[in-house]
Chain A
Amino acid sequence: RKEVEQDPGPFNVPEGATVAFNCTYSNSASQSFFWYRQDCRKEPKLLMSVYSSGNEDGRFTAQLNRASQYISLLIRDSKLSDSATYLCVVKPPFRGSYGKLTFGQGTILTVHP
């Protein structure tokens, strides 16, 4: 089983649609979770951290389900500018992991008019 696994997609949705991505992780002791966004031929950028209680940032909602070891990202009212690859990122639980983040392969989202 991969440490972090995502559905690669691609997801093709019309503007205004709601779309959700899931990501599963294998290490049950993992403590920190993130969603990064990566535009084509660009560097990844932090979209949002994922907290145990779930968190929302405008049209974006992140959820964590520890029992099932998955995190999710919900995008409401999709915009053309949301088209990108969304990377699920998990940080190992031990101290001294020094940025040894584990990246999923990414989910490609295309929003069309």
Chain B
Amino acid sequence: NAGVTQTPKFRILKIGQSMTLQCTQDMNHNYMYWYRQDPGMGLKLIYYSVGAGITDKGEVPNGYNVSRSTTEDFPLRLELAAPSQTSVYFCASSYLEGDSGNTIYFGEGSWLTVV
């Protein structure tokens, strides 16, 4: 009953370091997404993927990269971490586009602090 699994749950990075947030889903969903949520704000889309080998930018892609080599996995890479990337990151997936009847399922979130 895993759904969407993200790791790590918590991480502290130093400015300039790089890291990868891992995301995997076991629901055979075609669509996967990475969102970030800053305190008191709504979620903003970083990158999304409509299937293996296909990725595209969302609203706030700068400073991030993604890949989608398999249907299950959608890692998010932070290069040269900056304090502005301190946030909560949510990976999500859906069978089709996130529309009524096609619920988006979120992972539990990854709390990232850049110091």
> Which A residues contact B (CB, under 8 angstroms)?
4, 8, 32, 34, 41-46, 49, 51, 87, 91, 97-106
Contacts and interface: CB of A to CB of B under 8 A. Distances in A.
Interface stretch (B13-21, B38-46, B61-69, B74-82): B38-46
A98 B42 contact: no
B90 A43 contact: yes
A8 B40 CA distance: 8
Interface in B42-58: 42-45, 48, 50, 56, 58
Interface of B: 31, 33, 40-45, 48, 50, 56, 58-59, 90, 92, 94, 97-101, 103-104, 106-109
Contact of A99 (B40, B44, B97, B107): B97
Query: Max chain A CB contacts within 10 Å: which of B41, B48, B100?
Result: B100
Which 3 A-B pairs give the minimum distances between C-beta atoms? A103-B42, A43-B106, A99-B98
B42 A106 contact: yes
A103 B58 contact: no
A42 B109 contact: yes
A46 B42 contact: no
A50 B31 CA distance: 22
